[in-house]
Chains A and B, each alone.
Chain A
Amino acid sequence: MSASPTSGFHADSVFAHIDRAPEDPILGVTVAYNKDPSPIKLNLGVGAYRTEEGKPLVLNVVRQAEQQLVNDRSRVKEYLPIVGLADFNKLSAKLILGADSPAVQENRVTTVQCLSGTGSLRVGGEFLARHYHQRTIYIPLPTWGNHPKVFTLAGLSVKTYRYYDPATRGLNFQGLLEDLGSAPSGAIVLLHACAHNPTGVDPTIQQWEQIRQLMRSKSLLPFFDSAYQGFASGSLDADAQPVRMFVADGGECLVAQSYAKNMGLYGERVGALSIVCKTADVASRVESQLKLVIRPMYSNPPIHGASIVATILKDRDMYNEWTIELKAMADRIISMRQKLFDALRARGTPGDWSHIIKQIGMFTFTGLNSEQVAFMTKEYHIYMTSDGRISMAGLSSKTVPHLADAIHAAVTRVV
């Protein structure tokens, strides 16, 4: 037993051939920002809300909920069911679909707690890859960088439809209609429910209605990504309108919800996937199959964040307080947009910057190219994704002038 065997023993690791993966383009921005020693550095990369003082924010109502949970000694840490916390699921469906939604009242919706928006998209994608007759999903161009990876790993093939028009910095509505119009019948279509990421460009209600009609006429399956409900306009109901329009026509759809931004629960990974079905019986079967996707992925979802959400949503006072805090965040972002726009106008920065105040939500698609972005990082220590997207949530009245200077310099010196 003491002699070392030589036959068949390979000293090399079986993973010796592995290359180092590139940094995630979005999360990598924060990594680079953290490394920078400059005192004037500004992180406009990842979409996490910051206060006027540049600090992360935990909502008061969340702190209250947390305290309640900690003080309740009867609470345990048992496994949640595979589909997650039941209260949380019901309340989440009501939040996005509306308390009076017939789909909810008729039990036609199955809702499962997932790991924030990412997890909801992945579980939904895997379910579709297994059970839906069409394996192609159409995603807007551009979209959140993680979308194509999520759906590809879920087993779907990814195509794009035109969305953003660089010339107008607005919606390429014609292109969108054409591309969805020529998609094969039954194809899945990813829709950003509001506050499109990264562009901040949303269709109008009238345009949504046209999109809905086109999609239903071609049996295209809507898959909504709702990561900013309440955060875009400040109103939870207004931001849910596009989703509710689709559900109101009696058809089916999927919705991925995230509480990362609108409840500030980022790291707790709280979200929900809802699938609106034709009948209660179908919804129940669908739910049973969702469990089979989830169990071999992580067994059951984490309890803490969902408990906070449920605590808040089911208490009328806490819910109201939440809507007020949410509106305050949305309003601060809207005011940052205005300040940045005014600052650029004051500097006479060449170009039309009205898109800054027309776009909505956490992000502005500045229209800056990757060379200009690199310049701004190098010379002004401004961190943002190379597609020119800035997180307005990372701005404050104090830092707007610095950003305006940087944009001005980039636009005039780098082409």
Chain B
Amino acid sequence: MTFRAVMSGRARRLSSDLGARWMSTWWQSVEPAPKDPILGVTEAFLADPSPNKVNVGVGAYRDDNGKPVVLECVREAERRIAGNLNMEYLPMGGSVKMVEETLKLAYGEDSEFIKDKRIAAVQSLSGTGACRLFADFQKRFRPDSQIYIPVPTWANHHNIWRDAQVPQRTFHYYHPESRGLDFAALMDDIKNAPNGSFFLLHACAHNPTGVDPSEDQWREISYQFKAKGHFPFFDMAYQGFASGDPERDAKSIRIFLEDRHLIGIAQSYAKNMGLYGQRVGCLSVLCEDEKQAVAVKSQLQLLARPMYSNPPLHGALIVSIILSDPELKKLWLKEVKVMADRIIGMRTALRENLEKLGSPLSWEHITNQIGMFCYSGMTPEQVDSLTKEFHIYMTRNGRISMAGVTTGNVGYLANAIHEITKSA
């Protein structure tokens, strides 16, 4: 008798004793999960055979030929890494060099907070990982707190704080009528939130709307945060990518630092260094003094250890090599500006094309908004039509990834949008 026959014979006997428990699946009741709204778009795009298809879904940069880009500074860094370095575990807090350089980008080259060692910082799994680590940390050490999240925001923000079991509230942000910032309502929400609330702020290039507060507006927000004692947590996923100038893109953070807030920041190199799949980022928390920073960092490490032990090496090496070599850093800054400029150019082109087509609607917001995304104002139904009739892929909230727009497809895209919206 074969092994299998013996086993199934045995199982049949046992199943009559135990109600067939071990013969049945454990996962009978597992429902198929809904597709991720953003990453699901690319899957659908890839499956479409149409030669005209356009992917303006996921926020990954493309060059003017619609191809993904690996920056030259990154290629050079990889050449230096291959064959030369070992692959030992990083410390739980990640690469010290990488974190040091990363803090300079956010807090400033000569930041007093870096000098005074007041920043608790750990390498994280890109921006997602930084947000999640902070959310877990918030849950553990401020268990009664909740997080205020802007409407709208990157969909995964809700998942992150939910899985960390931190209750969520929302605050007004986007103003659909003007396709701009609902500043008055935002300020009201800040004032009405209980003192000491935690707020999630997009440092620049708000995702998905591309709508950022002006410098003056940021100052007012900061002032009100001080009055209420709120905790500002910045998600900065696009530093350098928004205006082309990393210093300028960090302005909101610098304003809050000048006003002596004790902030938290999630930084990502996915877009601005094109390191998407390498998962490189940093979580930092500004503390009152060095002693506190040491304590907070140790606790962040305690959260990272049972999640992934220590963060991945390769991406961190790339970042450290680039940022600590003045020539490579210069090259990087140039390449970031090229990417940002191309996007700004595409915004202009898309708007001009729509206006030339005689669209009855206003498309000013395309050039007013900043960063990778444009919140077109199209409805989910209009988006569905765009996909069905024109094979254009984007998320159903009407968000267009400008990085997917090229001189080759901007005309087609404008025409399609015009067709779908002209009788709206």
Contacts and interface: CB of A to CB of B under 8 A. Distances in A.
Interface of A: 1, 4-5, 7-10, 12-21, 24, 27, 31, 46, 48, 56-58, 62-63, 66-67, 69-70, 73, 75-82, 115-116, 118-119, 122, 131-133, 146, 149-150, 152-154, 185-186, 216-217, 219, 221, 248-252, 260, 264-269, 277-279, 282, 284-286, 288-289, 291-293, 295-305
Interface in B51-100: 58, 60, 68-70, 74-75, 78-79, 82-83, 86-92
Contact of B308 (A48, A122, A221): A122
A305 B8 CA distance: 40
B156 A300 contact: no
A73 B68 CA distance: 12
A269 B292 contact: no
A18 B305 contact: no
Contacts of A57: 86
Contacts of A75: 70
B309 A267 contact: no
Given A185-B21, A279-B25, A249 B7 contact: yes
Contact of B70 (A76, A264, A288, A293): A76
A346 B113 CA distance: 58
A304 B30 contact: no
B239 interface: no
B26 A132 contact: yes
Contacts of A219: 18, 21-22
Nearest to A271: B308
Contacts of B142: 14-15
Interface stretch (B226-234, B331-339, B351-359): B226-234
B86 A56 contact: yes
A106 to B, nearest CB: 13
A151 to B, nearest CB: 8
B310 interface: yes
Interface size range of chain B in the complex: 35 or more
A24 B78 contact: no
Given A250-B4, A289-B30, A296 B132 contact: yes
Interface of B: 3-4, 7-8, 11, 14, 18, 21-22, 24-33, 35-36, 39, 43, 58, 60, 68-70, 74-75, 78-79, 82-83, 86-92, 125-126, 128-129, 132, 141-142, 145, 156, 159-160, 162-163, 195-196, 219-220, 223, 226-229, 231, 262, 270, 274-279, 285, 287-288, 292, 294-296, 298-299, 301-303, 305-315
Contacts of A69: 82
Nearest to B231: A14
B132 A77 contact: no
Contacts of A77: 68, 70, 74, 274-278
Contact of A298 (B83, B128, B262): B128
Nearest to A248: B3
B18 to A, nearest CB: 7
B128 A299 contact: yes
A258 B318 CA distance: 24
Contact of A268 (B7, B219, B229, B313): B313
30 contacts: A1-B223, A5-B223, A15-B142, A15-B287, A16-B288, A18-B141, A62-B87, A77-B275, A77-B278, A78-B276, A79-B277, A80-B277, A115-B308, A118-B308, A185-B18, A186-B26, A216-B14, A219-B18, A252-B26, A266-B87, A269-B312, A277-B25, A295-B156, A297-B307, A298-B125, A298-B126, A299-B279, A302-B312, A304-B312, A305-B314
A46 B229 contact: no
Nearest to B302: A21
A4 B259 CA distance: 10
Contacts of A46: 89
Most chain B CB within a 10 A radius of its CB, from A146, A216, A221: A216
Most chain B CB within a 10 A radius of its CB, from A56, A63, A77, A277: A77
A15 B141 contact: yes
Contacts of A152: 306
Given A13-B262, A122-B308, A252-B26, 10 more contacts: A14-B145, A31-B91, A78-B276, A115-B307, A116-B309, A119-B309, A219-B22, A292-B159, A303-B277, A303-B278
Given A18-B292, A21-B302, A66-B82, A267 B312 contact: yes
Contacts of B302: 21, 24
A12 to B, nearest CB: 7
B59 to A, nearest CB: 10
Nearest to A307: B277
Contact of B21 (A21, A27, A186): A186
A302 B36 contact: no
B305 A221 contact: no
Given A251-B22, A289-B30, A27 B141 contact: no
A1 B219 contact: yes
* A-B complex: 8 closest residue pairs judged by Cβ atoms: A267-B313, A303-B277, A298-B125, A296-B159, A115-B308, A278-B25, A304-B314, A288-B33
Contacts of A132: 26
B307 A118 contact: yes
A299 B82 CA distance: 26
B312 A79 contact: no
A13 B287 contact: yes
Contact of A288 (B32, B75, B288, B303): B32
Contacts of B278: 77, 302-304
Contacts of A305: 312, 314
A8 B228 CA distance: 5
A289 B89 contact: no
Given A217-B14, A296-B156, A76 B39 contact: no
